């Protein structure tokens, strides 16, 4: 639902990546689709890697991926 709300609105750099990361975390925490969570996290990682100012968020995501 969050993605539907975002569609059609301009988002700043990293916003969609952060949203994807949060959705991935929520899926895993709720026992949801782990494959979908992994894909969301991978997509978020690819986007965050494009922005030097997102290094700390990227490190957080990579640490989370390593444990989930």
Q: pTM score, two decimals?
A: 0.82
**In this model, does residue 8 exceed pLDDT 90?**
no
Spatial distance between the Cα atoms of 4 and 25, rounded to a whole number of angstroms: 18
pLDDT digits (tens, 9 = 90+) for 30-64: 999 999 999 999 999 999 999 889 899 999 999 99
Q: Which of 40, 53, 41 lies closest to 14, judged by CA?
A: 53
């Amino acid at each position: 639902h969050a993605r539907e709300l975002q569609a059609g609105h301009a988002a700043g750099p990293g916003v969609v990546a952060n949203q994807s990361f949060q959705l991935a975390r929520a899926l895993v925490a709720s026992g949801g689709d782990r494959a979908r969570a992994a894909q969301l996290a991978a997509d978020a990682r690819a986007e965050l890697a494009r922005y030097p100012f997102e290094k700390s968020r990227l490190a957080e995501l990579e640490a989370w991926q390593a444990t989930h």
